[in-house]
């Protein structure tokens, strides 16, 4: 007799209390292995795949794509110890999922905390999002578009997935990004009506945005789903995620949730709790740019300018460690760190994220360049883990990439300071007693006035400026 276990949305760490379902990776009736990812969710910090600690047959799913679920809410139920039934059995399971039920023939539902000792061998323990739940996580065999499928595999798919026949009739949609699917869903766009511009006709975000802009210009609506397209039925009582909606003429309301909501909460908390102050200085970056050019001309991996600025920051923090700290408001103590976990602001399609380079003080320019590139790409693709977005002790913000000279950064709570770097542009500058055209950059430092006074902040910023103007100054501290 099969035992049905209920898998709930696990604690995602870092104080996260809810997540939005982006894409289901399994269907009702699918056979899943222990530690196989079953759903892709987006939290306020990252997009992650959630692995299931049980192996068996999926009997129910809870929540449509776009639904926000709190931690502890049911995700799926799995019949442990049962083989996939014929198509009729799958249909029965699908019916229970549609109605929100989670029953299976001859089995009763149990949560993870209620499973018996006999079923404990089927599970692998606590879920560690991003790492699986055991040493050898299993992966479900997935059929890729355009890849031939053997007759046996196709028959098995029809047995396990009651909707496989309809999917084969319509053909797979050539899109792999959950962000593209969500954008299309929120605007009522049928992806089957689009021709992708990516490799092998892959539908990209640019393709969806182009169609939406064209529809807006012409005053028409975007292509909607055809009548034969199956309409998803609700599988739980959780409220569906609300897309961007036009409330009235000239008024558009966008819910503050996900990444945007997390950014709003953090900035609001920073302004509310941190008594910040800002100082700034212009610096002649001509010699720094020449040094970088010489380093890259010597061969080997190219060195990013951000990596050189990061090396300057870590050297400055070694001299002024008060700025590499945080304030414990409850204990009324300043907590100073002996390591530098350097955050850097990165603008992505999903919003502003601040990935963290661990132990930046122990890295050279080449290592920093590689890590900046890796984390930036992960931010653009939405694959940053919560661990890569938290734990920073100081933030470097290069807003010069937006073509602006200066800014007053808002501190990344709970850190104590942030260094802002503007664009580097040719400007008139007095150099060695004569007026010359030099590469000038504006540097700004916003700091928590509780951890230090203006003298310390000014000393830090002046040292950074000296290293920018004369990179040889940095060599004396290495």
Q: Choosing from 30, 364, 453, 466, which is the catalytic residue?
A: 453
In a domain, 172, yes or no: no
pLDDT of residue 89: 41
Torsion angle of C-alpha atoms 134, 135, 141, 144, degrees rounded to 10 = 110
User: Residue 167: CB partners within 8 Å, gap ≥ 6?
Assistant: 161
pLDDT of residue 136: 40
Taking the CB of residue 284, how many other CB atoms lie within 10 A of it? 21
CB of 183 closer than 8 Å to CB of 208: yes
The tens-digit pLDDT sequence of the chain (478 residues) is 678 889 988 877 655 677 888 889 999 988 988 888 899 887 766 677 888 888 888 999 998 888 888 888 899 999 887 555 444 444 334 344 433 444 444 444 544 444 433 444 445 554 544 444 544 444 444 444 444 433 333 333 333 333 333 333 345 566 555 567 767 877 888 887 887 776 667 787 777 878 887 777 666 555 543 333 333 333 333 333 444 444 556 788 878 777 777 778 888 999 999 999 999 999 999 999 999 999 999 888 899 999 999 999 999 999 999 999 999 999 999 999 999 999 998 887 777 789 999 999 999 999 999 999 999 998 888 788 888 988 999 999 998 888 999 888 899 999 999 999 999 999 999 999 999 999 999 999 999 999 999 999 999 999 999 999 999 888 765 5
Residues facing 432 on adjacent strands: none
In a domain, 168, yes or no: no
3-state secondary structure of 279: strand
Q: Do 40 and 116 reside in the same domain of the chain?
A: yes
Q: Alpha-carbon distance 434 to 456, whole Å?
A: 32
Tell me the pairing of strands 351-353 and 325-328: unpaired
Where residue 223 sits, what CATH number does that domain have?
Answer: 4.10.320.10
User: Residue 200 sits in which domain range?
Assistant: 178-253
Residue 200 annotated among the catalytic residues of the structure: no
pLDDT of residue 65: 86
Count of structural domains, the chain: 3
Q: Do 183 and 279 reside in the same domain of the chain?
A: no
**Rounded to 5°, angle at Cα 419 from 373 and 284:** 90
In a domain, 144, yes or no: yes
Q: Do 427 and 317 reside in the same domain of the chain?
A: yes
Q: Do 337 and 354 reside in the same domain of the chain?
A: yes
Q: Do 348 and 455 reside in the same domain of the chain?
A: yes
Q: How far is CA 404 from CA 401, 408, 419, 438, in A?
A: 8, 12, 15, 17
**DSSP letters of 69-103?**
EETTSEEEEEEET-----HHHHHHHHHHHHTT---
Residue 449 annotated among the catalytic residues of the structure: yes
Q: Alpha-carbon distance 381 to 119, whole Å?
A: 38
CB of 145 closer than 8 Å to CB of 168: no
Where residue 144 sits, what CATH number does that domain have?
Answer: 2.40.50.100
Q: Name the domain boundary from 118, 137, 163.
A: 163
Q: Choosing from 328, 349, 359, 449, which is the catalytic residue?
A: 449
């Amino acid at each position: 007799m099969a035992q049905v276990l209920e898998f709930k949305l696990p604690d995602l760490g870092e104080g996260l209390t809810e997540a939005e379902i982006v894409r289901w990776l399994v269907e009702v009736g699918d056979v899943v292995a222990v530690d196989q990812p079953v759903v892709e969710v987006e939290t306020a910090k990252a997009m992650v795949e959630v692995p299931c600690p049980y192996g068996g047959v999926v009997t129910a799913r809870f929540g449509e794509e776009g639904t926000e679920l709190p931690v502890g809410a049911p995700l799926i139920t799995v019949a442990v110890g049962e083989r996939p039934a014929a198509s009729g059995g799958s249909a029965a399971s699908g019916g229970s999922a549609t109605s929100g039920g989670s029953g299976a023939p001859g089995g009763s539902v149990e949560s993870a905390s209620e499973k018996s000792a006999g079923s404990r061998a089927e599970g692998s323990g606590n879920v560690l999002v991003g790492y699986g739940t055991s040493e050898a996580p299993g992966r479900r065999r997935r059929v890729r578009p355009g890849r031939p499928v053997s007759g046996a595999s196709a028959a098995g798919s029809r047995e396990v997935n009651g909707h496989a026949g309809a999917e084969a009739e319509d053909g797979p949609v050539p899109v792999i990004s959950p962000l593209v699917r969500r954008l299309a869903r929120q605007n009522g766009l049928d992806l089957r009506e689009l021709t992708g511009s990516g490799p092998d006709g892959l539908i990209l975000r640019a393709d969806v945005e182009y169609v939406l802009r064209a529809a807006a210009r012409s005053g028409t609506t975007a292509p909607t789903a055809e009548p034969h397209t199956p309409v998803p039925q609700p599988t739980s009582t959780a409220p569906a995620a609300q897309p961007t909606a036009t409330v009235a003429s000239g008024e558009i309301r966008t819910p503050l949730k996900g990444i945007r909501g997390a950014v709003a909460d953090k900035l609001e908390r920073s302004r509310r709790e941190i008594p910040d102050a800002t100082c700034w200085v212009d610096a002649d970056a001509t010699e720094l740019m020449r040094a970088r050019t010489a380093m890259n001309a010597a061969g080997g991996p190219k060195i990013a300018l951000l990596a050189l600025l990061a090396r300057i920051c870590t050297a400055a923090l070694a001299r002024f460690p008060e700025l590499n700290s945080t304030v414990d408001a409850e204990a009324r103590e300043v907590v100073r760190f002996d390591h530098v976990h350097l955050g850097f602001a990165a603008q992505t399609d999903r919003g502003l994220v601040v990935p963290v380079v661990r132990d930046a003080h122990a890295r050279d320019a080449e290592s920093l360049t590689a890590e900046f590139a890796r984390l930036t790409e992960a931010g653009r693709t939405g694959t940053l883990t919560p661990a890569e977005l938290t734990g920073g002790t100081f933030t470097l913000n290069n807003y010069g990439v937006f073509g602006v000279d200066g800014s007053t950064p808002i501190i990344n709570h709970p850190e104590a300071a942030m260094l802002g770097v503007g664009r580097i542009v040719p400007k008139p500058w007095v150099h060695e007693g004569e007026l010359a055209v030099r590469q000038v950059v504006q540097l700004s430092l916003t700091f928590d006035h509780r951890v230090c006074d203006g003298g310390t902040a000014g000393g830090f910023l002046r040292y950074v400026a000296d290293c920018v103007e004369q990179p040889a100054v940095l060599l004396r501290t290495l």
